[in-house]
Each structure stands twice: as structure tokens, then as C-alpha cells.
Amino acid sequence: MATSTPSHDVFTAIAEPRRREIVELLARRGEQPVNDIVASLAMPQPAVSKHLAILRQVGLVAVQRRGRERLYSVNARELKAVHDWTKTFERYWDHQLDRLKQRAESLARERSRLGK
């Protein structure tokens, strides 16, 4: 975990792998109390709480009190900036996938031709 104070930026917050794990867990399972996050990720509770605080600061995670429990959930709207930014690179991925597909099809045709 980084020791410096993170900026209040979604990109900086999700740059840390453990915070991404927390966001992914909450996205998959929905609202979770901190103890469930701790158990699921096998992380110490103080570390999870620090990560959750950073995720809350940038708006990626919301917290709601229910009795004595605090339930954390993803605020997916804040991930839109990340989605929009990565989408600009989609054409590069599509191009690479097209090239891989063409190469695989070419190899399959060649193997088929040699096998006859």
C-alpha cells in the first residue's frame, strides 16, 4: 500500500491493486460489511479500512449505516471516467484481436491442407 497521501482522483485510487480487488468484490457481491471484505480478501481489517477510506474519498465507494454495521457498495457512476478513457484504446485491441484471429485461421487452413 502506498504510504503517500493519494490524490483525490479515481485513476490514482484504482491504480492500487488491493483497492481494485475491493471494488471488484463489491461489484460482484453488492453491499458488504467491512468484516466480509476482510474475510473474502484475506486482508487485515485496518488495511481494508484504509483502502475503503480512499475509495470513499474519490467517490468510488459509498457507505450506509444499518444498525451497528456499515455496508459498503460501489458507486459505478464514478467509474465512467475510467471506462470512457479506456474506450479510446479499444480500436487497438480490436485490431490486435483481428490479427490473431486471421493468423489462427491461416494456421488452421494450413494444418488442414497438410493433413489431407
* Higher pLDDT among residues 14 and 101, named by residue: 14
What CATH code is assigned to 10-115?
A: 1.10.10.10
The label of the residue with cell 453488492 reads 30
**pLDDT number for residue 3:** 46
CA distances from 90 to 17, 51, 76, 86 (A): 22, 29, 20, 7
Residue bearing cell 467491512: 34
**CA dihedral sign, ordered 12, 16, 96, 102:** negative
Find the mean pLDDT for residues 57-70. Answer: 94
Q: Domain segments of the chain: what residues?
A: 10-115
Helix (H) or strand (E) holding 33: strand 32-33
**11 has a pLDDT exceeding 80:** yes
Q: What is the pTM of this model?
A: 0.71
Buried b (16+ CB within 10 A) or exposed e, 6-45: beeebeebbebeebebbbebbeeeebbebebbbebbebee
